[in-house]
Amino acid sequence: MGSDQSSLPAGAPGSTLRSQRDEEIPYTQYSISKPIDSHSPRQSPRPQKPTRPVIKQEKDGLPKHEIVVVADGQIPVKDPDPELTKLNAIPMFFPILRGSLNIPVGSKETEVLDKLDHKQVLQLCLRYQDHLKQLSEAVAFDQNALCIRIKEVDHSIHVQNSSLVERQKKYAKFVEQFGRITETLSTLKKIQKGMDDIVPRMDILNSLLPAEDQLETFSFRTTRPVSRPS
Amino acid sequence: MASNKAAAASWNQETKARLNDKVSSNINDIGSILRQAIRGSKSPDFLAQAAKNFASQESYIHNSHETMRKMDLLRSQLEFQHSSINRSLSCLDEVQDQLSSINH
C-alpha cells in the first residue's frame, strides 16, 4: 500500500493537498487569522516571512508595520521543590566545632578543637529564650493597649449618642412649639379673611338701619378703661 | 583475605551505624533544646492570650458600629427638625404683620 501522499495532512511537505491555510488565497487571510477572543492577537497560521531585524535601525522613527515572530524564548523553569531550592541557597558557613570538618587545608588553627563549653551553649539558648519572651511581651502589650483604646472609643461613642438623643428630644419639643406658630398664622389669616368679608356687609346693614339704632363703626380696637397705678 | 575484607566491611558498617545514631541523637537533642527555649519563654502563651483578648473586642466594635449608624439617623432627624424650625421662623414675620394690622 505504501504511504499515500494524499493521506498526509495538508501542510506537510510531501502532500499534494492544499487547504485554505496553505495557499495565499486572496481575501481570506483576515478571516483565518482572526482569533475568536480579540484579546490575544494570534499570528496567522500560515507560514510567514521572517522579520528583518537588520532594517530595524532605519525604521526607528517610522510606525512599525512589520510582523514580529516571537521566538520560543527562555521559559522560566518551574521550581519543583521550593524548600530544596531554599536549602541550596543557604550560604556556606562553618560549624561551631571547626575541627570536626576534615579540611585537608589546616586553615586558621581551630581554637576550639574538640571541646564545646556546654555552659556557653546554655547561655546562648537562654539568651534566645529571653529574646523571644521580650518580643512576645512587646506584642502582647501593644495588643492590650489597643484593647483598652477600643473600649475607650466605644464608651465615648455611647456618650455622644446619648447626648444626641437628648438634643433630638429637646428639638422635637421646640419643633412642636414652633409648629403652633404656623397654626396661629393660619387661624389669623382665616379671621382676617372672615372680617374682610363681614365688615363691609355690617356697614351696609348699619346704614340701612334707622338713625337711632345705628351702631358705631366697627373697629378692632376695643375701648377699655386703662387703669393706672397711682 | 576474604574474611579480612568481610570483617572490615562489617566494621565499616558498624561505624557508619554508630555515626548515624550519634547524628540522629544530636539532632533530637537540638530539637528538644529549641522546644524548651520556645516553651520556656512563654511567648506562644502571651501571643495566644493577646489574640483571644483582641478577638473578644469584636463585640465592642460591633456595638460601636451600630451606635454610629443610629447617630447617623439621629443626625438626619435633627436636620429635618432644623429645617422645619427655620420655616416656622420665617412665618413669624407674617404673624407680626397680621397682629399689627388687627390692632390698628
Amino acid at A121: V
Average pLDDT over residues B84-100: 81
Burial of B95 (0-12, 13-18, 19+ CB in 10 A): middle
Which pLDDT belongs to residue A76? 76
Question: Which segment of A41-55, A59-73, A202-216, B61-75 scores lowest on mean pLDDT?
Answer: A41-55
pLDDT digits (tens, 9 = 90+) for A142-180: 999 999 999 999 999 999 999 999 999 999 998 998 888
- Whole-number Å distance between alpha carbons of A84 and A90: 10
A221 grid coordinates: 380696637
pLDDT in tens, A22-71: 555 666 556 666 555 555 455 555 555 444 444 444 444 456 677 887 87
Q: Which residue has the higher pLDDT, B64 or A220?
A: B64
Distance in Å, alpha carbon of A38 to nearest chain B alpha carbon: 47
Distance CA A6, CA A4 (A): 5
* Chain B closest-CA separation from residue A197 CA (Å): 14
pLDDT at A56: 44
Q: What's the confidence (pLDDT) of residue A158?
A: 94
- Nearest Cα of chain B lies from the Cα of A201 at a distance, in angstroms, of 18
Inter-chain contacts counted by CB atoms under 8 A, chains A and B: 120
Q: Give tens-digit pLDDT for A82-120.
A: 888 888 888 887 766 666 666 655 555 555 555 667 888
Higher confidence at residue A10 or residue B83? B83
Q: Do residue A185 and residue B95 have CB atoms under 8 angstroms apart?
A: yes
Higher pLDDT, A110 or A206: A206
B46 contact partners, CB below 8 Å, separation of at least 6 = A136, A137, A139, A140
Within a 10 A sphere around the Cβ of A133, how many other Cβ atoms?
Answer: 16
Give me the interface pTM, i.e. the ipTM: 0.70
Cβ(A192)–Cβ(B98) under 8 Å? yes
Disruptive mutation site among A174, A182, A186, A191 for chain B (greatest number of B CBs within 10 Å): A182
DSSP, res A211: G
Domain ranges for chain B: 1-41, 43-104
How many Cα atoms sit within 13 Å of A151 on the Cβ side? Answer: 10
- At CA A35, angle to CA A30 and CA A39, rounded to 5? 120
Q: Give which of A179, A181, A163 is closest to B81, Cα–Cα.
A: A179
Q: Answer yes or no: are the C-beta atoms of B14 and A108 closer than 8 Å.
A: no
Range from A62-76, A132-146, A208-222 carrying the lowest mean pLDDT:
A208-222
CA dist A62 and A57 (Å) reads 10
